[in-house]
Chains A and B, each alone.
Chain A
Amino acid sequence: DTGVSQNPRHKITKRGQNVTFRCDPISEHNRLYWYRQTLGQGPEFLTYFQNEAQLEKSRLLSDRFSAERPKGSFSTLEIQRTEQGDSAMYLCASSLGLTVEAFFGQGTRLTVV
């Protein structure tokens, strides 16, 4: 499978715990994006990387959220001290250069209990 891969697919965690998600973009795609989607809503932009540089962060990305893409390939999204309001689907997408067509992964569904 050469698409965008996200792990884990599902995560259930207790409030206050830290969680980390991983995204492996399509090979050679230099741009990587994180979105969050709650039930019945469209995805909301969180942040994006060009290679290893994080170029844009949404106001939605509080200081409990951090994203990295250390080698310009895979990316991780960490949420510290999770809250119930963090429960959502976290989507990763990647694109090549200035091509704006982004390909989405299947997402990681987070449930905070």
Chain B
Amino acid sequence: GESVGLHLPTLSVQEGDNSIINCAYSNSASDYFIWYKQESGKGPQFIIDIRSNMDKRQGQRVTVLLNKTVKHLSLQIAATQPGDSAVYFCAENLIQGAQKLVFGQGTRLTINP
């Protein structure tokens, strides 16, 4: 079936270091991908998105890379801060023009002081 998964369930990095969170997706027809951040007790918060016709997109301290050949998505967070500690989900969009998102299980990122 269709699924989006993550390689690691947890990731710990030192404050100030860069972090990379990986995601594998299985639906080659997906045209849009999003990374969300979810803090405890809160709803997912949009971080950055990328369309299937791109392979890289940069935001503020974040970069998303898309490798369609191997169906791999990654989120790079530069100069991590304590506030970056959260669960990060990748999601793929299955309906063009709408947002029927399929989420992965998430990676818990912990920033160590």
A interface residues with partner B (beta carbon < 8 Å): 4, 31, 33, 35, 40-45, 48, 50, 55-56, 91, 93, 95, 98, 100-107
Interface size band for B: 20 to 34
Interface: B44 (CB within 8 A)? yes
Contacts of A50 in B (CB 8 A): 98
What are the 5 A-B residue pairs with the smallest beta carbon separation, nearest first?
Answer: A42-B103, A104-B43, A104-B44, A42-B89, A102-B99
| CB-defined A-B contacts under 8 Å, sample of 26 | A31-B98, A40-B105, A42-B4, A42-B104, A42-B106, A43-B89, A43-B101, A44-B103, A45-B100, A48-B99, A48-B100, A56-B95, A56-B98, A56-B100, A91-B43, A100-B34, A100-B49, A100-B98, A102-B99, A102-B101, A103-B46, A104-B36, A105-B43, A106-B41, A106-B43, A107-B43
Interface: B91 (CB within 8 A)? yes
Closest to B104 in A: A42
- Give the contacting residue for B99; candidates A40, A93, A106; CB below 8 A: A93
Are the C-beta atoms of A104 and B49 separated by less than 8 Å?
no
Contact with A along B42-78 (1 / 0, CB 8 A): 1111100100000000000000000000000000000
B interface residues with partner A (beta carbon < 8 Å): 4, 32, 34, 36, 41-46, 49, 89, 91, 93, 95, 97-106
Contacts of A40 in B (CB 8 A): 105-106
Contacts of A48 in B (CB 8 A): 98-100
Closest to A98 in B: B97
Contacts of A93 in B (CB 8 A): 43, 99
Also in contact, A100 and B99, with CB within 8 A (given A42-B89, A42-B105, A42-B106)? yes
